[in-house]
Structure 1
Amino acid sequence: MTARRPGRDRLRELLDAVLVEHEGAAVVGTLAAGAHSSSFHFTRQVSRAAGEAPAALRRRVLLERAAWELQRGRTVTDAAFAAGYDSVEGFSRSFSRAFGCPPSAMSRAHERGHWLPAPNGIHFHSPTVLYVDVGREVSAGDVVALMVRHDLEDTDALLAAAEEVDDDEFRRERMPDHRVLEWSGDETSLADVLHHLALDKLPWLACIEGDDEPDLSAATDVPSLRRRHSEIAARWLALTRDVERRGAWGDRVIDALCDPPESFLLSQIVAHTLTFAAHRRQLARWMLAQAGVDIKGLDPDPIMWHRRASGGLS
């Protein structure tokens, strides 16, 4: 996930970047050479979407956002101008045709949702995120559930082991200038590595759920990290189970908080998280051993973990 800038209408920027206007007709084209590849892939998806021109998609998504805002107390006037309409009357006519009720009725209609029928599955999801409903089952199988559970429980075991380490050893620099990912900052100490292990799923949860960028600075000691990881783990497990239940691994979120906007498949997010969490868990084991902790009981093998978790029946 890349840098984010506050204080903008990011959804409008995202739609403007994806849906290019040319000589009065909406067309879908490639972005400038320096644009992020995910935007290009999303542009190609829009161009293939049968039955809905790009300009119609833009109008529909902004009407979906207006409905979402009206359900949360925004005035009809504010919603109309935010959606790009020149008058409240024009907005009300378009809204009524789309939703079958006037905008004023939406404040009493939370249960009806805010999505309109779409041939391409692209919908407004939150103030900063588009959601692409793949519309077909893409199952990843039980292996993902096993890996997700192993990652969460192994991370908790490492955090528990780190409670034996005094603060000097916890924060001692062991790998100068080391970075796991170029944009994620230095990870030179056990404190750095465990901070990422405990909290790095939180920005992805915010992306998928449409929340603002979370504050990752509050938890700095092991007990705080472990408590926060426990909360995050419950949400992460529920999320991945829900994605598997719905067969939604091919669904996509387009995150306008990133600069430039980026799109992510849900399968990509989980694969990314599991890959770098596994690397960091091994780094944490090495650093714990360097700090004098006996790590013999912290077997990293998911086979051994699963055998213990299932009572030796696997």
Structure 2
Amino acid sequence: MTTPGRDRLRELLDAVLDEDNRTLSDMAGDAYASPFHFSRQVSGGAGESPVALRRRVVLERAAWQLRQGASVTDTAFAAGYESVEGFSRAFARAYGRSPGSLSAGAGARDAHWLPAPNGIHFHPPSSLWVSDEPARRGDEVTALLVHHGVEDTRALLELVKGLPEREYRQVRAPGLSVLPWDGTEETLAALLDTLVWTTEVWVASLEGGEQPVRGADDAASLVDRHDAVAPRWLAAVREIARRGAWGDRLVDALCEPPESFVLGSVVAHVLTFSAHRRLMARHWLREAGVEVDTGDPIDWLRRRDR
């Protein structure tokens, strides 16, 4: 029974963010609840799983600490990561840039905030801030799809690294063209190369850069290319969301002749055809005798929240 005047959600959040509670079991034990009921209560009250909430707020704190001049190494271990490399990967996935790229400086109150469904953010030096700005749920769904696309692409690229070359370059759909201007994508090599290349081209357009040079299409090179462009893609979409600029227009001088695109349609385009190519790659991997998951964002999110 709940005691009158008792803020149960506040108690749950305290358990989520306590420095000593690194796992879901730790959090639940501190709140005198089973992990199942604790997770359900936090998710219901905050709209975010306890593991995801803790990870996000800890990364927000890390971003603030880096802006205060803390070293990446000190920040990584303060955030509970066992290695600087693991922290750097998590930070780049969240912020679209490496932790070492943050320059020291106070910045705005919310400069370190990540998208959140509940307005709950880290507030320096050791508090929480609950923003009353209405959550833009469309932005949250877009952020989820963009993150899933980035991580799912990398998982597929890692998977094909172990594929024999003849399977990787075997023609599986003669004459297949997903989009007319992208040419044929008859093989896994061509399909995955175009998957990465599409992101490279659109990121260059959003950044106002030059036409990128298309790199090698072997699996190891594609992993390197993807790792280079993925943080920039995340950062570009995050900036569009931050400014609420989905309806703004981009005049893409990389097209011949230059074309005008609505930013929201650019993101939707990349997400649509990235998902199509990733599902097709899975079908072809199964044909090659490789076990691969379904690529379902539901399963991906469940794994992230554990």
TM-score by length of 1: 0.53
- How far apart are the structure 2 equivalents of 1:229 and 1:258? 22
* Separation in 2, partners of 1:257, 1:143: 29
The answer for the alignment partner of 1:281 in structure 2 is: 278
Contact 1:255 1:263 in 2 (8 A): yes
- For 1:184, the equivalent position in structure 2 comes to 182
Structure with greater Cα Rg: 1
CA deviation after TM superposition for structure 1 residue 141, in Å: 2.0
**Partner residue, 1:39:** none
Q: Write the distance in 2 (CA, Å) between the matches of 1:190 and 1:256.
A: 30
Structure 1 gap segments, 5+ residues each: 1-137
1:141 match: secondary structure: helix
SS of residue matched to 1:264: strand
8 Å CA contact 1:252, 1:265 repeated in 2 = yes
Match of 1:300 in 2: 295
Q: Distance in 2 between matches of 1:269 and 1:292?
A: 35
SS of residue paired to 1:254: strand
Distance change in 2, residues 1:139/1:252 (3 Å):
farther
CA distance in 2 between counterparts of 1:243 and 1:142 reads: 13
Tell me, yes or no, if the aligned pair for 2:190 and 2:217 is still in contact at 8 Å.
no
For the 8 Å contact 2:193–2:222, the answer to whether it is kept is yes
Matched AA of 2:159:
A
1:262 equivalent in alignment to 2:251: no
**Equivalent position amino acid for 1:146 in 2:** L
CA contact (8 A) 1:249 1:265 kept: yes
Residues 254, 262 of structure 1: 8 Å contact kept? yes
- Give 1:265 deviation, angstroms: 1.1
Amino acid at match of 1:299: T
Could you say which residue in structure 2 is the equivalent of 1:127?
none
CA contact (8 A) 2:192 2:281 kept: yes
Whole-angstrom CA distance in 2 between matches of 1:287 and 1:200: 20
Q: Which residue of 2 aligns with 1:162?
A: 160
Partner of 2:38: none
Which residue identity lines up with residue 304 of structure 1 in the other structure? D
Deviation at 1:139, TM superposition (A): 7.8
Aligned counterpart for 1:290 among listed residues 279, 287, 290: 287
Structure with bigger RCO (C-alpha 8 Å, 6+ apart):
1
Letter in 1 for 2:301: H
1:147 alignment partner in structure 2: 145
Letter in 1 for 2:171: E
Mapping of residues 1-314 of structure 1, within 5 Å:
140-216=138-214, 218-295=215-292, 298-311=293-306
Distance in 2, Cα, partners of 1:220 & 1:149:
23
Which residue in 1 is equivalent to 2:44?
A: none
The unaligned stretches of length 5 or more in structure 2 are 1-135
The one-letter code matched in structure 1 to 2:297 is: P
Q: Distance in 2 between matches of 1:265 and 1:271?
A: 10
Deviation at 1:272, TM superposition (A): 0.2
Q: Read off the aligned partner of 1:308 and give its amino acid letter.
A: R
Distance 1:212 1:139 in 2: 34
TM-score by length of 2: 0.54
- How far the C-alpha of 1:166 sits from its partner, in A, is 1.0
Q: Is the 8 A contact 2:249 2:263 kept in 1?
A: yes
Which deviations, in whole Å up to 9, do the C-alpha atoms of 1:76-97 show, x marking residues without a partner? Answer: xxxxxxxxxxxxxxxxxxxxxx
Determine if contact 1:147/1:274 at 8 Å carries over to the other structure: yes
- SS class of match (1:253): strand
Specify the code of the residue in structure 1 equivalent to 2:147.
R
Which residue of structure 1 lines up, in the alignment, with residue 47 of structure 2?
A: none
Question: What percentage of aligned pairs have identical amino acids?
Answer: 47
